[in-house]
Amino acid sequence: MWKILGEDAIYIDIPETWKRRMIALAGEGEKQDKFKKIVGESEVTYLMNGTTEEHTFFIKLSDDVTPEEIQGLADVALDILKASEHPCVEVEGRRQRYQVIITNYHEPEIIGLNKTPGMSSGAVFMPIIKGLDGPGRENMNTVRNNVW
């Protein structure tokens, strides 16, 4: 069974469970209230690396969050995770490694209705295509040292 900050969760509910528990454990105060507001409005995503058994929580912020507010979020998140009596992630009774990433980076969309301006697939891949046949590149169609 999976536990996120002491609460049972199924895999697909992990990001929402983590977000809800972090907000509940934030406490009271000006920084904590700001943390609750910003995290409550932000998208939280989750990724598990099965090889390293490391869990990653991404808090994706809007562009209007200031660097000072981001620092405040990091401070409150660290305080919550240090003070929690439960591990952030526990699987079948075993404490797991985890990391929290706070970011406002938005992946550009290459295709679709909400395509990022200037990010058409042709524009994105053109430098790669030009690099493949640019001056100084070896002609891959020739045989090297008469070896087949």
Instruction: Indicate the pTM of the whole model.
Output: 0.70
Find all residues with CB under 8 Å of 78, minimum gap 6, and list them. none
Q: Which ranges constitute the DSSP H helices of the chain?
A: 14-25, 30-41, 67-83, 121-132
Indicate if the pLDDT at residue 47 is higher than 70: yes
Question: Three-class SS of residue 38?
Answer: helix
Q: Single out the residue of 83, 84, 69, 80 nearest to residue 30, CA to CA.
A: 69
Nearest to 57 by CA among 107, 16, 111: 16
Please provide the CATH number assigned to the domain covering 2-103. Answer: 3.30.70
Q: Cα–Cα distance between 78 and 57 in angstroms, integer?
A: 13
Q: Which tens digits make up the pLDDT trace of 62-120? A: 889 999 999 999 999 999 999 999 999 999 999 999 999 998 877 767 666 777 666 66
Report pLDDT for 63. 86
Phi/psi at 131 (nearest 5 deg)?
Answer: -70, -25
Q: Note the pLDDT tens digit of each residue in 128-143.
A: 777 776 666 666 665 5
What mean pLDDT comes out for the span 24-40?
Answer: 94
Per-domain boundaries in the chain = 2-103, 107-137
